[in-house]
A = this chain, B = another copy of it.
């Protein structure tokens, strides 16, 4: 047996989602239907669906059905936005400025994004917490994959909702690398702090459902009112 049957069923469903045949939020066939379509037993179809649920690709609800994961503003915030108040309280920072530019990709960006794009969109935004500018974030995506992104201003609070709804791109994983830096002139001005203030620097690579790197972003965060929180297991 080369690959288990349940894996073939998983691959088939992922391909259907990736191709747009199954849209985010839509309902999948029932376990029995999938079993019939793919020629496996209901138990095997069930195992496939449970594994897809664990990977966050579908959501199952007893009595209702199985649905393709829809990236809502709430779930995006919950999954990928790790900044919290020092006491652990959730935060919803407002957007205060936004600049989208189309420019040539740097060598590192070209190599580090799927499709090796020649040009990229750079989205630079400042987020504010209770009126205090707190996060300066710069996201970069392929200009050929996200055509016309600069025409869509104002962009939503969470970009991943836009990627999903307008470009069929579902973000499921993000690798982050965090360091501490001192505010330079530009970031100090944007965040209204003195140069030399310590900031968290979060570098992220976001991956789509096929595991392709789709977005690179750097967030500079004031750390007096925010902390990066994560649970390791």
Q: Which residues of A contact B (CB under 8 A)?
A: 54-56, 79-80, 82, 84, 86, 88, 172-182, 196, 198-201, 221, 223, 226-233
Contacts and interface: CB of A to CB of B under 8 A. Distances in A.
Contacts of A198: 180-182, 198-199
B180 A232 contact: no
Contact of A176 (B173, B176, B180, B229): B229
B232 A177 contact: no
Q: Is the contact region of chain A dominated by helix, strand, or loop, or is it mixed?
A: strand
A173 to B, nearest CB: 5
Interface hub of A82, A179, A182 (most chain B Cβ within 10 A) = A179
Contact of A227 (B79, B88, B178, B182): B178
Contact of A86 (B79, B177, B227): B177
A226 to B, nearest CB: 8
A123 to B, nearest CB: 19
Contact of A177 (B172, B179, B228): B228
Contact of A231 (B173, B178, B179, B223): B173
Contact of A179 (B80, B227, B232): B227
A188 to B, nearest CB: 13
B181 A232 contact: no
B233 A181 contact: no
B180 A223 contact: yes
A179 B177 CA distance: 13
Interface hub of A55, A176, A178, A199 (most chain B Cβ within 10 A) = A178
A199 B180 CA distance: 6
A46 to B, nearest CB: 12
A79 B178 CA distance: 17
A180 B227 CA distance: 8
A233 B177 CA distance: 15
Contacts of A226: 179
B223 A175 contact: no
